[in-house]
């Protein structure tokens, strides 16, 4: 009996200089947070993002916390955050002793609804985190307009959006700072890793100080500030540099796979909402998130179980922050985020997917959607 193939929801691709660069680290002995690959990766990634400075970190959550700490966020402050995001976005605010204030989403992009930001601003508000969810940019010109009007900083959480474009500009270059994740399921991976990018030299210097336990540059073991051990290893940076050399190829493949998904799922648009791409955006397609229409007589979790039985790995769209125990807000009203979360499914999207895989996923989705639609109502 032939064993059923499993189609993973995500998978890293190592087809470039990864082994060569990592082997150099091992042979040289520079495996920790000093080595030639760290500044190379920082400089090249900042250049790719069209900014001046990159500060590497040990993971994307650390990058978020570091950015907020560097911007001076502290107890008593409020930071406006989309409720539909990965939990690290809200956690990083709490790490600073500040409070995240949640706004609902905009359905087409799944990003924060800019029209709801101003009503959340109070005397305690200091900033906004705009999340480019699943790879589609938030409407950054509108976000920046509100932020400048109220003297708020803007951090882009671009963990899922490497290479996405907003009006022809790279995400990461649009706010006061931006953070990226290089976890194993991201478009670029270092295994674990992150980066803060900015064109503000003073902020960049502050981030470097905080990242390395607060040690003063040029004065070993002198710590004028309390900092963190958030440094990236040379091995991780070596992986990152090799991955960055291939980013155009990675993105082109994702664009092709997304187009194939759209073609194969076109007949299901009465049942599911496919990812959109605004005219002013280039979606990076970190993930391919579909939303089941409320008219479909099929439970989201049941559909995911059926796909799993067929060897197709999926993920639910993130829970909104306002329903999680640490952030629960009884009576809060974020209907778009609630809908997207309860009806959203993330389909496989990575560089090892074949055209046949996409066709198989689409065929099984069509089978279950059309079967559910044809089934008599109990």
Instruction: Output the pLDDT for position 331.
Output: 76
- First-last CA distance in the chain: 37
- Angular region, 268: left φ>0, alpha ψ -120 to 50, beta rest: alpha
* Interval 358-378 mean pLDDT: 79
Name the helix (H) or strand (E) containing 289: strand 288-292
- Output the CA torsion 75→78→81→84 (10° steps): 80
Q: Which domains are assigned to the chain?
A: 18-244 (3.40.640.10), 247-374 (3.90.1150.10)
Tokens for 296, please give them: 């479909």
pLDDT of 118-159, one tens digit each?
Answer: 999 999 999 999 999 999 999 999 999 999 999 999 999 999
Under a CB-based contact definition with an 8 Å cutoff, are residues 306 and 371 in contact? no
pLDDT at 375 over 90: no
pTM confidence score: 0.95
- pLDDT band of 373, cuts 50, 70, 90: low
pLDDT of 43-87, one tens digit each?
Answer: 999 999 999 999 999 999 999 999 999 999 999 999 999 999 999
pLDDT of 247-278, one tens digit each?
Answer: 999 999 999 999 999 999 999 999 999 999 99
pLDDT at 36 over 50: yes
Under a CB-based contact definition with an 8 Å cutoff, are residues 113 and 142 in contact? no
Instruction: Output the pLDDT for position 378.
Output: 37
């Amino acid at each position: 009996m032939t064993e059923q193939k499993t189609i993973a929801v995500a998978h890293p691709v190592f087809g470039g200089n990864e082994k060569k660069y990592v082997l150099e680290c091992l042979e040289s002995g520079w495996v920790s947070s000093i080595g030639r690959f760290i500044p190379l990766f920082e400089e090249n990634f900042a250049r790719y993002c069209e900014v001046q400075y990159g500060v590497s970190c040990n993971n994307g959550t650390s990058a978020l916390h570091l950015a907020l700490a560097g911007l001076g966020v502290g107890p008593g402050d409020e930071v406006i955050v989309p409720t539909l995001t990965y939990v690290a976005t809200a956690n990083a605010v709490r790490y600073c002793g500040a409070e995240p204030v949640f706004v609902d989403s905009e359905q087409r992009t799944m990003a924060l609804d800019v029209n709801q930001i101003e009503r959340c601003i109070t005397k305690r508000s200091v900033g906004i985190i705009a999340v480019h969810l699943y790879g589609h940019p938030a409407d950054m010109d509108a976000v920046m307009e509100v932020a400048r009007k109220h003297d708020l900083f803007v951090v882009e959480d671009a963990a899922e959006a490497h290479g996405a474009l907003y009006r022809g500009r790279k995400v990461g270059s649009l706010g006061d700072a931006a953070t990226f994740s290089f976890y194993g399921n991201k478009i670029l991976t270092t295994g674990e890793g992150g980066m803060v990018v900015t064109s503000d030299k003073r902020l960049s210097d502050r981030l470097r100080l905080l990242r390395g336990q607060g040690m003063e540059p040029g004065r070993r073991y002198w710590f004028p500030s309390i900092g963190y051990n958030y440094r990236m290893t040379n091995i991780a940076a070596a992986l990152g540099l090799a991955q960055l050399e291939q980013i155009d190829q990675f993105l082109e493949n994702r664009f092709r796979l997304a187009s194939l998904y759209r073609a194969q799922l076109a007949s299901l648009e009465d049942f599911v909402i496919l990812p959109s791409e605004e005219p002013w955006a280039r979606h990076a397609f970190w993930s391919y998130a579909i939303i089941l229409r409320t008219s479909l007589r099929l439970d989201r979790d049941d559909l995911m179980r059926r796909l799993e039985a067929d060897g197709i790995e999926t993920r639910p769209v993130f829970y909104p922050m306002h329903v999680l125990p640490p952030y629960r807000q009884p009576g809060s009203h974020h209907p778009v985020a609630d809908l997207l979360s309860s009806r959203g499914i993330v389909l496989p999207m990575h560089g090892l997917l074949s055209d046949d895989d996409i066709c198989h996923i689409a065929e099984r989705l069509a089978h279950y959607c059309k079967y559910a639609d044809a089934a008599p109502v109990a």
